[in-house]
Each structure stands twice: as structure tokens, then as C-alpha cells.
Structure 1
Amino acid sequence: MGWLAGAPSTWRLMPAKASFSERREPNLPDDVHLTPSQIHGVLPQAEYMSRTGNSVVQNIQGQDNMKHVDPDDFIIHLRSFQGGIERSTYKGKVSTAYTVLKPSKIVVPDYFRWLLKSDGYVQELRTTTNQLRDGQSIKFRDFAKISLPVPLPEEQRAIAEYLDRETARIDTLIEEQQRLIEMLGERRVATVAETLDGSQWTQVRRLVDHDRPMTYGILQCGEPVEGGVVYIGPSDIKGEGLSPHRDALRTTAPEIASAYKRSVLKSGDVVVSIGPAYGKVAVVSDDLTGANLTQDTVRIALRPDLVDTRFFVWALLSRQTAEYWDYQIMGATFRRLNLGTLARTPIPLPALQEQRRIAAYLDERTAKIDSLIAETERFIELARERRSALITAAVTGQVDVREAA
């Protein structure tokens, strides 16, 4: 019985081909072009493009060579092994690349909409064939291999109504928590911006060690070399000032690195990404002394008598700096920083002791906000797990929906 081991003994277990047949009729002249997706369900193509902002018209097969779809048909589409079986509420047409399922009289579409998306069913569907590429869709012959539970119509309707009600409650709760995360994120940004206001300002270039000027790194790093020189690129910078782990970095040949002695790193240097993923900041750890960096990153060797490194990191990550950079690159074909823009970036510069106090305060305040965000994200994860488990339990008869009503 597998995923249906807990189903009531009164439920019928029937081959899928008894519940659905494959619809093969060609499209009708007045059929609207439908687009199925896991996020939006089945929508007319124009509405789908409006929701997704996609201006590319999907017309792979041609408008005159498509499959007809009736309301309450189900469409097996891409990523079907991840739940890509969607119920249509529209009359229309889809590409012949999709499989259209016509429900029989024993099927209550509202119930099977939940059943065919449940984790238990999706996992069972994956056992019908091996070594499918990610995103490849199944065919009717694979779909037909799995037996489906078929409660009485009135019980199917009761389960569907129960799941509509209970998942709506969970979804509302998740939306509330997602709004909380957005508010916390906004509060975090505002905390940094407000704390940095009210100081005298200078430019980044005035805070740099004259003996080690700002510079970008290696133009062409080549293939990784075992035992070579490690280097930092934009993708290696993960956190707010956190140093990349040496073991995770790529390497370049010593011969290549030797031509870029100007960009050799030392402990405490600040590295800023300037490429398409601009604005990420890292502080070099002790074990990365002697490493190098790429052309999409810039080394900033600070003067410790003028600026605290942690304070400088917060300044670069502030809303004020983000707005300055956005203004400087406004209208550019390729949105990226350059060395000159970074060098001219305004930075607040209170007294050194005050910088340290501000940095410590921001570390503490943002850590508290980050902890609240992490707790909320975990709550959302648990709610989604609860939602998924509830669906599987209900569609397999492990929940008495009459008692739960």
C-alpha cells in the first residue's frame, strides 16, 4: 500500500486510468491559449504573462497544433515529479508537450486537486521511472501506473472543503509572518541609517593607506591550480564583513598572481565587490594574508588611525551608501561600480572612539533583529511542513474531517 497504508478500509483503491483518461482532442477554434505553472496554476497565457511580467509569448507548437482542455481537466506539465499536475478551471488549449487528463465521473476535481499535489503522491509518482532529468515531465503511461484512492463523492467534497479552510488559515499565518520579516528587515536598515546620521563626512579615498592604494585584482585568473594562490571574487563574499573561508576559495597559478603584486591582501583589508553583484563587503582574515582578488573586487587598506574597520563596513552597507551608488550608476547600461565611484563614496567620520561605540551598538542591535528574523523564518518553515503533512493526511483518510469541522 505504501503511501496509502493508512487509508480507511472503506475507501476504494483504483488504477489511475479508472479515474482519468488521456484527452487527445485537438484544440477548437475559440480555445484560449493556457499556461500551466506550479506557482499560478493554469491561466490564460495573457494573464500569466501579466502576473509574471514575462513579455515572451509561448508558442512552441504553433497555435493550430495544440491540445484541447476542458474545465476540471488536469494538465501534467514540466517538473511533474515536483508536483507539476495542475487543475484547469478554463476551457482552452495547451502545447502537445503536455499531457491532459480527463476526469471520470467518480472524480471530484476539488479533492483530486489536493491529492495530486500531496507529498505522498508526488513521492510515489517518482517511483514510476528512473533517472528522469530535473524538469522532465511524465506521460500518461507513467501516471497510470499508480493506484489512486477514491472515497465516496460526498467524502471527497468534505475533504476538499476541509483542506480549503485549514490551508487558508495556515497561509494567512505564513503571510503575516512574512510581513513581519519585511518589517524587521526595514527596521534593520533604518537602524543602521539613523545611527550613522549626524556625523561629519569624508570620502573613502581619504581613509586609505597611501602605501597600499585602492586597486582591483587579477584580470584573468585561469583554471584552478592545486597548491596555487587563493583569490577572492564577488561570489565568495557571503556576509556583512565576514571573511571567506580559505578552503572554499579558488586558486590561480603563482605565475599569474605574481603579475598582480599590487593587489595582494593582508589581514584586516576590506574587500568590496564592484561587478554586477556590487556592494558586498568582506574583511580579510589572518589566514588569507597573501591571497589575491579578481577584477570585480577592490581592496581597501584602511588607515587604523582614522577609521575603525567594523564601523567602515557598516558605513558601506548603509542605506546612505546604497543610495549614493544607485545615483552614481543611474542610467548605466551595466549596473556596476568602478574604482573612482568607490573612492569618492561619502563615509561618516566621527571620532575613532565614537566609531567603535557605534560599530559595537550596530553589531548588537542587528544581531537581535537577525535572531528575530531567523525565529520567524523557522516558524514559517514549520508551518509549511504542517501544511504539507495536513494535506497528505487528509487526502489519504488519516484525518476524520467530520470531527475536525
Structure 2
Amino acid sequence: MTGLRVPERWTRSRVKHLVRSMRAGDAITVDAIEQAGEYAVYGANGVRGFTSRRTHVGTHVLIGRQGALCGNVHLVNGEFWASEHAIVATPLANVDERWLAALLRVMNLGQYSTSAAQPGIGVGQIAPLHVYVPPPDEQRAIADYLDDETAQIDALVAKQGEFIQLLRERRSAIADAEFQPSVGKRNATIRQTLIRLERRPVPGLGVVTAYRDGVVTLRANRRADGYTMSASEAGYQGVMPGDIVFHALDGFAGAVGISDSEGQCSPVYHVCASRNDVNAEYLALLIRYMGTSGFLSTQAPSTRQRSVDFRNWKTFARVPLMLPPIERQNSFVTEYHEQTSRIDALIAKAEEHIALAKERRSALITATVTGQINVRTARKAS
């Protein structure tokens, strides 16, 4: 908050002079937190669950103490339990709690974390920080202005979110319309449609991963979170572009598709080629649909939470499916790519609008609480 040109009527102060108290919440055991209850339990990043007792009543500003998101700010009103992972700041009577919460968010308190291994922040880092404070009536005017302006932005973001959801439902409907009907289709099994490949891996090639969104590509092409890293490369197998790659533990959730890369993958995958009378892309889409619709979950045992085990090839090979004539397979793949590419483009555009709106929201809040926008002038102009 240094180096800013703020209105002359604003005074320089410290965070500790804006609050009656600032201290960590009270410890609570995991067993005492329920999925439903009378009072919300706030932790390092918002609500953790519910409990039958409370520690606070009224309006308070909560600051996350620990974890990757330490320093995040929540304005809480009512009766609740604040855990030891949250700092509870109670504003003075002449300090607008909405303005204070906005100010603390803009200050990016997480930058004052004292540990890299387990990020954390305490009262000692926050209380002495310098801030610029407008008079109480201007604090309220700033808070009112931000309430109005951010509500409009949030409404636009919500509309875009609803639009994205409708587009995703339309995308799903394309697969539903193709894969649910049985008329004009023949019964088959995975064994009758796929040939299992067992290539030797080429040393030095990257690792290929099947993601739950149906993309199969080199791990280097995607960020590393969202899947389990293998401890070693023992038993790895080669993968070529055009191979159907099925994750034997995550395939039930959609981790299957056509590889776009040459590389290698772990033995938890089945790497396959389609037989001559089957379109490989159609079959990959069908198997993925069978997974995401829940059918594959009924065809194999569950070995761990949210996982279905198809590592045994015989188990996977006997999975039943229905196929239309090859001409229909070919035409559907073309139609599917045309329709979903248009939908994906609309989704990407909507997501871009959301990102820009959120950037504008953040910039607006920052400019307002630091005095770069005169809210009284801004209101008259609008």
C-alpha cells in the first residue's frame, strides 16, 4: 500500500488500528465437523462443514492462516465456528466491515507467508501493515459502490456460466443421441473390436497420458496435476499416433481416447488398434461414453475409492457394446467433430468473457479501495 497517491483526506494507519481484536479461531476436531449442522465451521479457506456449537456472533473478517491459499479473506456474518486455521478480525465500530474486507483482499496477504513448506501467516505479519484509511462515511460509500458494481459483473459472469453449462449439455446430447439407441446396431465385445498391442518402448520418448476429458497426449503437453505419477518405468509400452489408449483404472471416468503422440505409457494402460470393420475414433468415443455414463462401472470390480479395475485384459475384453454399420461410424465421427468444434469454440469464448470480467472486477476493487476512483464522482457519472 506504499507509493500510491491517495486523497489528502485519507489517513495513514495500520491494520491493527482498524480492529477491536484480531486472533486465531478455536481448535476443533475432525470428528466434530459434520456435513450438515446448525453452525458453519470456517477454516483456512471458507466453510469446512458444520457443527452444533459456535464461537462467534456478528460480522467479522476471516483470514486464512495456513495452506496454499493462506491470506484469503472472507466476510462472515451471523453465528459460526472459526477454527484455529482462520484469523478472526473484528472491525471497530467506525470501520465499515465490507470496506475492510475489500482492502485486505487487495493487499494480497498471502505474500507475507512465513514458510514455503507449509505456507502460513499470523497476526504478527498482518497487524502492523500500513494502510490508507478514508473517513467512515467514505468507507461506506466505497462499500456501497463496490456492492453495486461487482453485483453487475457477477451477474454477467453467472450468465456466461449458465451459457457454458447449456453448451456442455448440448455436447453431451450429441453422444446420447448416437450411443443410446440400439436400433440398427450389432452386438459385439471389446475383444471383437480391438487388438491389444504390446510394443517395446523407445528409450527417451516422453510419457503418454490418457486424461479424463478424452485427450491422449504426451504428459509434457499438459499440466502435471490430475493424474498419478508412476514410481518407475518398469513394464512401460510403446504408443503411436492413432492408437486407442485406455486407462485401466480411470477409463470408467473417461480416460480413453486416440493418441496424438508417439511415446510410452505405463502397464496400467491398454494400448490397442481397432479391427478393420471398426472406426477407431468412433470406438474410442463409444468406450468413453460407456465410462462417463456409468456402464463400465458395472463391468469390473472396484479396487479403490472412485476407481474401477480393468487391468486384467480378459475383464476388459469381455465388455459388451453395440456398433452401427461402418458407414454410420464414419459419418458420425465427421459430424461429431464438426458440431463439437463449434460448441468448444463458443465455450472458449464464454470462458474468455468470464476471465476478462473477473479481471475487471479485481481491477475495479483495487482502484476503488486505494483511492484511484472517487466513488462519489463515479456514481454521478453513471
Bin for the TM-score computed over the shorter chain: 0.7 to 0.9
The reply to whether residue 84 of structure 1 matches residue 90 of structure 2 is: no
Partner of 1:387: 361
Distance 1:98 1:251 in 2: 36
Distance 1:137 1:183 in 2: 41
Q: Is the 8 A contact 2:279 2:326 kept in 1?
A: yes
Partner of 1:136: 120
Question: Identical aligned pairs, as a percentage?
Answer: 25
Distance 1:26 1:111 in 2: 22
Partner of 2:185: 200
- 1:37 is displaced (CA, Å) by 4.6
| Secondary structure of the corresponding residue to residue 278 of structure 2 | coil
Partner of 1:353: 327
TM-score normalized with structure 1 length:
0.72
The reply to whether residue 162 of structure 1 matches residue 145 of structure 2 is: yes
* Structure number with larger C-alpha Rg: 1
Deviations 1:323-363 (A, max 9, x none): 42134359886531424453233444333233222111111
Partner of 1:324: 295
Distance 2:203 2:197 in 1: 27
**CA RMSD of superposed structures (Å):** 4.0
How many residue pairs match? The answer is 354
Distance 2:87 2:292 in 1: 52
Q: Is the 8 A contact 1:188 1:369 kept in 2?
A: yes
Q: Is the 8 A contact 2:291 2:297 kept in 1?
A: no
TM-score normalized with structure 2 length:
0.76
Partner of 2:15: 16
Q: Is the 8 A contact 1:15 1:148 kept in 2?
A: yes
**Farther-moved stretch of structure 1 (169-178 vs 200-209):** 200-209
Partner of 2:225: none
Which residue identity lines up with residue 41 of structure 2 in the other structure?
T
The reply to whether residue 294 of structure 1 matches residue 266 of structure 2 is: yes
Partner of 1:54: none
Q: Is the 8 A contact 1:107 1:150 kept in 2?
A: no
Q: How does 1:2-401 map to 2 (within 5 A)?
A: 2=2, 5-23=4-22, 35-37=41-43, 40=46, 49=49, 69=56, 71-79=58-66, 82-90=70-78, 94-95=82-83, 98-118=86-106, 121-122=107-108, 125=109, 128=112, 131-133=115-117, 135-139=119-123, 141-196=124-179, 197=181, 198-201=183-186, 202-209=188-195, 213=196, 227=203, 232=208, 235-237=209-211, 240=214, 242-244=216-218, 256-257=234-235, 265=239, 267-276=241-250, 278=252, 279-285=254-260, 287-288=262-263, 291=264, 293-303=265-275, 305-318=276-289, 322-328=293-299, 334=305, 335-338=307-310, 339-401=313-375
Deviations 1:153-174 (A, max 9, x none): 1111111111112111211221
**Farther-moved stretch of structure 1 (159-168 vs 337-346):** 337-346
| Secondary structure of the corresponding residue to residue 136 of structure 1 | coil
Q: Is the 8 A contact 1:87 1:113 kept in 2?
A: yes
Deviations 1:250-272 (A, max 9, x none): 8966xx54xx8xx6555533110
Distance 2:20 2:89 in 1: 6
Q: Is the 8 A contact 1:193 1:319 kept in 2?
A: no
Distance 1:320 1:101 in 2: 48
Decide whether aligned partners of structure 1 residues 300 and 191 sit closer, same or farther in structure 2, where only a CA change above 3 A counts: same
Deviations 1:383-404 (A, max 9, x none): 1111111111111122222233
Q: Is the 8 A contact 1:158 1:401 kept in 2?
A: yes
Decide whether aligned partners of structure 1 residues 78 and 236 sit closer, same or farther in structure 2, where only a CA change above 3 A counts: farther
| Secondary structure of the corresponding residue to residue 184 of structure 1 | helix
- 1:136 is displaced (CA, Å) by 1.0
| Secondary structure of the corresponding residue to residue 117 of structure 1 | helix
| Secondary structure of the corresponding residue to residue 363 of structure 1 | helix
- 1:310 is displaced (CA, Å) by 1.6
**Farther-moved stretch of structure 1 (321-330 vs 372-381):** 321-330
Q: Is the 8 A contact 2:39 2:81 kept in 1?
A: yes
Which residue identity lines up with residue 133 of structure 2 in the other structure?
V
Decide whether aligned partners of structure 1 residues 230 and 13 sit closer, same or farther in structure 2, where only a CA change above 3 A counts: closer
Decide whether aligned partners of structure 1 residues 166 and 38 sit closer, same or farther in structure 2, where only a CA change above 3 A counts: farther
Which structure is higher in strand share? 2
Instruction: Give ranges in structure 1 of 5+ residues lacking alignment.
Output: 42-47, 51-56
Q: Is the 8 A contact 1:238 1:244 kept in 2?
A: no
